[in-house]
C-alpha cells in the first residue's frame, strides 16, 4: 500500500482532514500527519478535530511519500509562509506524485509555483489567485490534471477522496496537453 502525507497546520477545515484520512486508512494506506513541528497538536477551525503532528515537514522529502493531501481552512494560509512546506509541496508535484488540495489548499500550489498551466478548482475566493498564477479555474466537484487533484469544499469530499484513491490504485494519468501545444486555437 501507499504512504501518504497529510500536510496540516492550525485551523484546518475539520472534515477536510478527517474524511480523506479515514478513507485512506480504511483502504489500507499508511498516512502520516506532517506539519511544522513534530509532536505539536493542531486544532481544526470548527474545534471538532485535534490531531498530533507526527513528522516535521523540514524532516521529510518526496522520497518518503507516494502522495500528498492538503486540507483547506486557514491551515494552507499558515503553511504557504513556511519554506519547508512549500518546498515539500513543490517536490511532490514535480516528482509527479499525486498532490490533492481541497478548498483553500490550492494556495499551496500557487506558492509552490506548480499551478501555472494547470486546470484546477477551489473555494471560490481562491479563484482569482489561481488564475493570476496561470491556472485555468473551473467550477467542478473535483478536477484532476495529471498528478494534481483539486476540489472545492466539504460537500465534495467523497468525490475528492475517490479521486485520490483512484490515482493511488491506477497511477497518475498522463496530462492532456494544453490547446497551444496541440495546435488548436
| Catalytic residue annotation | 103
> In this structure, are residues 39 and 53 in contact, taking their beta carbons and an 8 Å threshold?
yes
**Three-state secondary structure call for residue 25:** helix
Give the helix/strand (H/E) hosting 55: strand 55-56
Which residue in 8, 23, 13 sits closest to 168, CA to CA? 23
32: cell is 502520516
- Other beta carbons within 10 angstroms of residue 37's beta carbon come to 13
159: exposed, middle or buried (Cβ count in 10 Å: 0-12, 13-18, 19+): middle
**Three-state secondary structure call for residue 16:** helix
Amino acid at each position: 500500500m501507499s504512504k501518504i502525507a497529510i500536510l496540516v497546520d492550525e485551523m484546518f477545515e475539520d472534515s477536510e482532514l478527517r474524511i480523506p484520512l479515514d478513507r485512506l486508512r480504511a483502504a489500507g494506506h499508511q498516512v502520516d500527519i506532517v506539519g511544522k513541528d513534530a509532536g505539536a497538536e493542531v486544532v481544526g477551525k470548527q474545534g471538532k478535530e485535534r490531531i498530533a503532528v507526527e513528522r516535521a515537514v523540514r524532516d521529510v522529502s518526496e522520497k518518503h511519500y507516494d502522495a500528498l493531501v492538503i486540507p483547506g481552512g486557514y491551515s494552507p494560509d499558515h503553511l504557504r509562509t513556511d519554506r519547508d512546506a512549500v518546498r515539500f509541496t513543490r517536490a511532490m508535484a514535480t516528482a509527479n506524485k499525486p498532490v490533492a488540495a481541497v478548498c483553500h489548499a490550492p494556495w499551496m500550489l500557487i506558492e509552490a509555483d506548480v499551478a501555472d498551466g494547470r486546470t484546477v478548482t477551489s473555494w471560490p475566493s481562491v479563484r482569482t489567485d489561481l488564475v493570476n498564477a496561470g491556472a485555468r479555474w473551473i467550477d467542478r466537484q473535483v478536477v484532476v490534471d495529471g498528478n494534481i487533484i483539486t476540489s472545492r469544499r466539504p460537500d465534495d469530499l467523497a468525490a475528492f477522496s475517490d479521486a485520490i484513491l483512484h490515482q493511488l490504485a491506477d497511477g497518475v494519468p498522463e496530462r492532456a496537453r494544453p490547446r497551444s501545444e496541440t495546435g488548436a486555437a
